Amino acid sequence: LAKTTQPISMDSYEGQEVNITCSHNNIATNDYITWYQQFPSQGPRFIIQGYKTKVTNEVASLFIPADRKSSTLSLPRVSLSDTAVYYCLVGAPSGGYNKLIFGAGTRLAVHP
């Protein structure tokens, strides 16, 4: 399973766009990139998954360059409720059926 590296923490203010970058230099050809969000005392929640280029859903965008050695989770116009830990994971797309190895994650604090 490819190792991922993310910033330990980030700070932002309400209404700003937040970009969290994840490095995964050893990503395998068949690996997908998946991001999860975790609030205190709750289980993680799926945010977005992608293989290459750009993926967008109702909560975030995921940018993946051609070499796929990194990816960027973009949260548009964050609010206080986006304060959470964000995890970048790399592996098979069938995330629910494979064990997931979590890195340290990025602790995002959104300020008023």
Partner 1 sequence: GAVVSQHPSWVICKSGTSVKIECRSLDFQATTMFWYRQFPKQSLMLMATSNEGSKATYEQGVEKDKFLINHASLTLSTLTVTSAHPEDSSFYICSSGAGRDTEAFFGQGTRLTVV
Contact set with partner 1 (CB under 8 A):
34, 36, 41-46, 49, 87, 93-97, 99-105
* Least gap, CB of 29 to partner 1 (angstroms): 17
| Closest to partner 1 by CB, 32 or 75 | 32
Nearer to partner 1, 29 or 112 (CB): 29
Beta carbon nearer to partner 1, 27 or 47: 47
Q: Are 56 and 63 in contact (CB under 8 A)?
A: no
Parallel, antiparallel or unpaired: strands 84-91 and 106-111? antiparallel
Considering beta carbons, is residue 69 or 107 the nearer one to partner 1? Answer: 107
In whole angstroms, give the CA distance from residue 22 to residue 102.
13
State in angstroms the smallest separation of the CB of 30 from partner 1.
Answer: 13
**Any idea what DSSP says for residue 73?**
E
What is the residue-wise DSSP string for 3-56? Answer: --B--SEEEEETT--EEEEEE-TT--TT-EEEEEEE-TTS--EEEEEESSEEEE
Minimum CB–partner distance for residue 98 and partner 1 (Å): 8
* Residue 43 beta carbon to partner 1: minimum distance, rounded to whole angstroms: 3
